[in-house]
Structure 1
């Protein structure tokens, strides 16, 4: 029997765009402050909550999620001023606590506990930078998942805050000067209008001197002639130069400028200004700057540029391009530590300062590593390894002697040996081979009727990590398969792989994901009624597009914080920046491509759609929640079948970063409950 959905008003609004008549009957839902939309949110949440409470599974799933989530988690430590800094969570704390130690044998001391800053755990530590002498912490806080940050400064020794307060920071960290008397950061002007909705332009780079009000901060660099440029400042390890990365939206190609901090009359100088490739500083030896770049190397390489002789003819290749993608390059202990992606999983290799290969780091298995921070003369560093079946273990690495030891390891109430994971390759619509990881219990009987959760992303040159997840473990404990597809548009195989899934090629991403589902069915893992698909953000777009293109293929759909209105995404917050990957609705040719797959605009009245639960947060100022509101309303109105179309709107939550543990447990418990309510058996 169809669900009686809350009434959603439509409006007679049709726009003529590039010769196309485009209806938008739910445009009014973009006004997040109206009483009408607030009532709609409350009514939809009441419906969803009541629906999920009907299942006896919810309580059991949530209890097991709590049990497994309750394990110690550490970040890899980093070193400043001879001291060690890291984050730690006992298990169920809503936010990680920031700690420091005088040495590795010392008792950790609490520096900042975000859990004390709000009753519901929604104030998160969104950024942290330790001064070079290890005595001061600049830290950013975000409220309710917003991208906006307010920065403060705290003394390490006694944990007391200074009076410094920096507001309207977004898409920025902090980088301390050599004397630890101030730091560089980027911000926008205070927004005019709704801070969670207004578009963000005119990023500016500032210097803040301790003990002075923000109004006196020195403007280092701004480009009013390029309002879409974004700036990120990084002081070099020797403290002499401020390197300024200049981005244009989310395009991977960037510019690099610099400022000589020892020259009182110095001015910002352009070093790499063609925006022809991606450039990331690894290290500098006086005027010789080492960059990881994909210039003339689609899979990345390391080059050296002398800033006194910057013409490309004078550049030196240090580490040449490899057959695998170079994802990260660090310089610590006198060696380059390079992390490569080999078919979506990490491998780590050492190189001497002149680029000579010098061995590999043996990892515990196929998985993901993060860390390797440190100074060029530090003899040690730390890294964290995890896989689909291995929780994050932190290792200490003696770089000179190539000796690694476990620094911290978690203890969970499960045995990794009870699970198996393998990688396969399937053929997409155009013949492209696409990698897919399949993980499940070792004793699982594969009979073609196994509940299978297929997850993907496929965008912005971002690779999906092969990493551990408590929710995925709970899903597999209950007899499910977790399948992770590494689609085109992502960063698994470099520039060609990314460009194969962007702009006019975006349909390739959806074809890849659909082919992954068909592969799982053809190979006897599952069938359509048992196949659940999910994705977040750009992955939410992925689910929405595949849902509207192939509603017959999937048993349950879970689009989360998705970009679902592809004709108006560029009008809210930072959405304009995504035109580098999606294309612009203002361009007639790119508009046609976007209209062809935009999930909101391709819902068909009278179609039969599978059970769907749309997820979003009311404070999401990355992907405007109006996307999900409009999509859910249109899908509810169009549904001709009896399967439910629900929307779960998290209050005081944003795009996902900094979301409290309690809210994460509730969200995933609801996802698995909804999925299992609609899988046969």
Structure 2
């Protein structure tokens, strides 16, 4: 390993490092947040984020639906509930369960709501997850949903990257930090223990143990059969796992390919294959969704059925289970539709959930899979504000909520285009701009390209206000490494093939310029996390192609990523820097190691969060320090809270959004 003069910046809370961060922040704030345009943007973003007209998303359990809601009056948010019938009113009455602003003030801690786990089917107890500053580590407390209070002497788990699930009213299955030999190299639980109410956590019984080189060991439940059967998910790396049923203190492995995703609901086992699988005399294609009954020792070839089989441009994005149907989100050429699959005496029957034929992205989820056949249909596009519809097995969905546009969507259009990558692969991208606009315009190109995550048409009013309204063109590139065309699209850019994702992104950028949409000087790019790594490589590999770069919560040092926080979990995606063969290709896409003092780089904005306990802020800090030494045009902002999401409340989110768009307008249109 070569000497790194900026290693000290990896000490997250070191006073010298924090002083350096404060100095960088002050420079950025003074330069970009004082203009009238910044303040106007910030106010408009805050109004959108705090709007009462947003659609409250929810989880349903029995007679109640539960929602987390942040407003200007309650920036830390309210955990609340109402009935589904009340929810459908224009101004529903909500019952407040936890006021996180009051809780934070009472306990003098920066509590951020991080989710919950409900006890089914009584729904009178919940495990509430509390994060300090928005990180992945959580404190877990038992909450009484009837009395609206934390349970005295109830289940309590100190702050850690824990995973817990109910295994009955008085028992939990838990993985947490028990000290030595309890966490993987990635910082996640390595064991699952059975913890009985009234006993000490440290005396809980270990029922499963992984290895330090694994990524995680988690437990889950089906919430049926009074928790008699539980499940353990043993993640051997980020993309491979083994799946076990746990019943009567006995473990039995469920037969599945290590690379397949698995879920169990209502005793249905669903397997999404990432690779071709032959079992018995049958072969199933990668990307297929198989279904079978767990009770039938699923895995024997005659007990599995194909619920979905992919084609070249048609893939499965997600699924959800009601008590009568399986909801399938199926994407064709990067635009998804929701289908209902219903079991009949002759097999499975399929029907569209809606009749929309426009370029609208649909997704769905069960309302309460234990008790109901009702489902939610979410519809949106780049220029279509979201609508939420409620449907049933034999009833077409009816709109129950819709979001206002917040900007003049009728003035814009979205089209899909295809670029050819260096190896001839066709790469799609979406383009949104003013109708009938022409000529070279300021253009923002967004990308991700990793971990089989798809970038589908999504409504973003903040982008509309901050970019489109002012004459910008917005592009989303569906490059390899993502999931837009299934597992093979992801596998095409894994590890030593990572450069394929970068070639795809470059191809889209060059195609935009060749079509006359924009010019190099007016072309900006943006990405976060793995997309931040993409931005770092565009910055170092093709500095001649872009006018500005926005790089958010990024990975940038690929020699040390596996040593920092959750980084070891991503070696299946990138490779192992300690392996000389892997480092040979890793160093080619490690931006921190590829900055040259003699290159003319475009201006770059790098942002991160001090409390990001997933992607270490040291990646961003060290890159900025190195660029500063070389005299490059670099701007830096580090939010002191926020976790990997970058912000915990709407005030912070509005500031960060305004910073990004003000930065881009100043760099691309200095006099605009």
TM over 0.5: yes
- Give structure 2 stretches of 5+ with no counterpart: 88-92, 278-283
**Could you say which residue in structure 2 is the equivalent of 1:604?**
596
Partner of 1:391: 385
Change (3 A) 1:617 1:186: same
Work out whether residues 187 and 566 of structure 2, in 8 Å CA contact, stay in contact via their aligned partners in 1: yes
* Residues in 2 aligned to 1:191 and 1:509: alpha-carbon distance in whole angstroms: 39
Instruction: Report which stretch shifted further, 423-432 or 313-322.
Output: 313-322
Give the CA deviation at 1:596: 0.8
What does residue 115 of structure 1 align with? Answer: 101
CA contact (8 A) 2:611 2:640 kept: yes
Cα offsets for 1:329-382 (capped at 9, x unmatched)? 222141221111222222111222255233111165422424235326523122
Give the conservation status (yes or no) of the 8 Å contact 1:457–1:542. Answer: yes
Which of the numbers 622, 637, 640 marks the counterpart of 2:614? 622
Counterpart pick for 2:255 among 269, 272, 276: 272
Residue 128 of structure 1 corresponds to 116
- Find out whether 1:497 has 2:479 as its counterpart: no
Partners of 1:552 and 1:282 in 2: CA distance: 50
More moved, 32-41 vs 668-677: 32-41
Tell me by how many angstroms 1:447 deviates: 1.2
For 1:207 and 1:468, the matched residues in 2 are separated by 43
Which residue of 203, 215, 230 corresponds with 2:217? 230
The alpha-carbon deviation at position 236 of structure 1 amounts to 4.6
The separation in 2 between residues aligned to 1:134 and 1:564, in whole angstroms, is: 44
Aligned runs of 1:49-68 on 2, under 5 Å? 49-53=29-33, 55-68=35-48
Secondary structure of 1:344's counterpart equals coil
2-structure distance, mates of 1:227, 1:614: 31
Moved more, 671-680 or 388-397: 388-397
Match of 2:499?
507
Give the Å deviation of 1:165. 1.6
- CA distance, structure 1, for counterparts of residue 331 and residue 261 of structure 2: 18
Residue 28 (structure 2) pairs with residue 48 (structure 1): yes
Correspondence for 1:352:
342
Query: How far off is 1:212 after superposition?
Result: 4.8
Aligned to 2:145: 156
Alignment of 1:445-464 (within 5 A): 445-448=437-440, 450-464=441-455
Report the secondary structure of 2:386's partner residue: strand
Tell me what 1:24 maps to.
4
Q: Distance in 2 between matches of 1:386 and 1:188?
A: 41
Q: Write the distance in 2 (CA, Å) between the matches of 1:68 and 1:477.
A: 15
Matched, 1:84 2:68: no
Per-residue CA distance 1:477-496 (angstroms, 9 max, x = gap)? 12111111111111111111
Label 1:388 to 1:184 Cα distance change in 2 as closer, same or farther (>3 A): farther
Give SS of 2:41's match: helix
* Structure-2 residue corresponding to 1:326: 316
Q: Find the aligned partners of 2:224 and 2:409 in 1 and give their Cα distance.
A: 40
Q: Distance in 2 between matches of 1:462 and 1:508?
A: 16
Distance in 2 (alpha carbons) for counterparts of 1:434 and 1:134: 47
Change (3 A) 1:90 1:390: farther
Q: Write the deviation string for residues 382-430 of structure 1: whole angstroms up to 9, x where unpaired.
A: 233332223333221122x232122222235434323221221111111
Partner of 1:408: 401
| Structure 1: segments with no counterpart, 5+ residues | 1-14, 16-21
Alignment of 1:426 with 2:419, yes or no, is yes
SS in 2 for 1:574: helix
2:202 corresponds in structure 1 to 215
2:280 alignment counterpart: none
Rate the CA distance shift 1:68–1:241 in 2: closer, same or farther, 3 A.
same
Q: In the TM superposition, what whole-angstrom CA distance separates every residue of 1:64-86 from its partner, at most 9, and x where no partner exists?
A: 22233332333443332333223
Alignment deviations for residues 234-268 of structure 1 (CA, whole Å, 9 cap, x no partner): 235333311111212322x22101111xx3xx322
Q: CA deviation at 1:650?
A: 0.9
**Aligned residues: CA RMSD:** 2.7
TM-score relative to the length of structure 2 = 0.89
Q: Counterpart in 1 of 2:263?
A: 281
Q: Distance in 2 between matches of 1:307 and 1:57?
A: 62
- Counterpart pick for 1:649 among 634, 638, 655: 638
- Give the conservation status (yes or no) of the 8 Å contact 1:75–1:384: no
Partner residue in 1 for 2:86: 105
Match of 1:39 among 11, 14, 19: 19
Give how far 1:94 is off.
Answer: 3.2
| Corresponding residue of 1:367 | 361
Equivalent position of 1:11 in the other structure: none
Q: Structure 1 length as normaliser, TM-score?
A: 0.88
Structure 1 contact 186–203 (Cα < 8 Å) conserved: yes
Is the alpha carbon distance of 1:85 and 1:664 closer, same or farther for their aligned partners in structure 2, counting shifts above 3 Å? Answer: same
2:529–2:553 CA contact under 8 A, matched in 1: yes
| Structure 1 segment 528-567 matched on structure 2, within 5 A | 528-567=520-559
Equivalent residue, structure 2, for 1:467: 458
| 8 Å contact from structure 2 (residues 192, 218) kept in 1 | yes
Post-superposition CA distance 1:530-586 (Å, at most 9, x none):
111110100000000111001111111111010000010000111001000001101
Q: How many residues of Structure 1 are paired with residues of Structure 2 in the alignment?
A: 642
